[in-house]
Homo-oligomer: A and B are copies of this chain.
Amino acid sequence: MAGVEAIDKLTHQLSRLPGIGRKTAQRLAFHIVAQPEEDVRELAVTIFNAKKQVHVCPVCGNLTDREICSVCADPSRSRDTVCVVKDARDVNALERIRDYNGLYHVLGGVISPMDGVGPDDIRIRELMSRLAEGEIKEVVLATNPDVEGEATAAYISRLIKPMGIKVTRIAHGVPVGGELEYTDEITLMRAFQGRREL
């Protein structure tokens, strides 16, 4: 601790952020008090405004500072495909590839009995309501390729298939630029099973 109450308090607050340890928090605190007052005021105001303005899109669950998120509000997006993801960060990652032109559905989590998260704790019911409207022809399950993500995809798939809607899962395989030698066996097996004719 720096022995200066205001710096110690700031260090403590910053160290509660994910990935920020005590040493980094203290370095940041010392940096912040050395900045011009105007810059620090702007940082504080930006933090508070982001929290005040950003909320969940009532249609898809993505984050937005408008009434409806920018994807749902975009008239050029194709409305017959919905990509199901765990959280808003995933929407962000997929939007960066600038390839997908459909809509999203953000679950706000994945089914994880270990953490006490069941199907009713994530936005599956909201997804089913959207599908019931009849406009959606394909659901792309893009939850993470881990145990919870796979289980959640399997669960949702079982719910949707009887409705006659096409359900797809993002491909698993060797990452581009990756090397077979260093790829784990399950990924390699998936890459092999998912092989395509050229």
Cα A83 to Cα B92 in complex, Å, equals 51
Cβ distance A190 to chain B, nearest Cβ, rounded Å = 26
Task: Indicate if the CB atoms of B18 and A31 lie closer than 8 Å.
Answer: yes
Are the CB atoms of B26 and A13 closer together than 8 Å? no
CB–CB B37/A52 < 8 A: yes
Considering the chains assembled together, what is the distance between the CA atoms of A48 and B42 in angstroms? 9
- Interchain CA distance A37-B54 in the complex, whole Å: 11
Please name the residue on chain B nearest to A28 by beta carbon. Answer: B17
Q: Mark A14-52, 1 if CB is under 8 A from B, else 0.
A: 100111100010111111110101001111111111111
* Residue in B7, B14, B41 whose CB lies within 8 Å of A48: B41
Would you call B27 and A65 a contact (CB within 8 A)?
no
A95 to B5, CA, bound (A): 15
Cβ of B50 and Cβ of A31 under 8 Å apart?
no
Any B CB within 8 A of the CB of A6: yes
In the assembled complex, the Cα of A70 lies from the Cα of B162 at a distance in Å of 71
Contacts of A19 in B (CB 8 A): 24, 27-28
**A3 CB–B CB distance under 8 Å:** yes
Q: How near does chain B come to A18, taking the closest CB pair, in angstroms?
A: 5
Interface centre among A4, A19, A41 (most CB of B within 10 A): A4
Say whether A163 faces chain B, with CB atoms less than 8 Å apart. no
Within 8 A of B (CB), among A32-80: 32-33, 35, 37, 40-54, 63-65, 69-71
Give 15 pairs: A residue, B residue, CB < 8 Å, sorted on A. Answer: A2-B92, A3-B70, A4-B69, A4-B70, A6-B50, A13-B46, A13-B47, A14-B43, A19-B27, A19-B28, A32-B50, A33-B51, A33-B63, A40-B47, A47-B47
Sample of 14 further A-B pairs with CB below 8 A, known A13-B42, A19-B28, A33-B63: A3-B71, A4-B63, A4-B69, A6-B53, A6-B54, A9-B46, A13-B43, A18-B27, A19-B27, A20-B28, A32-B47, A33-B54, A44-B44, A44-B45
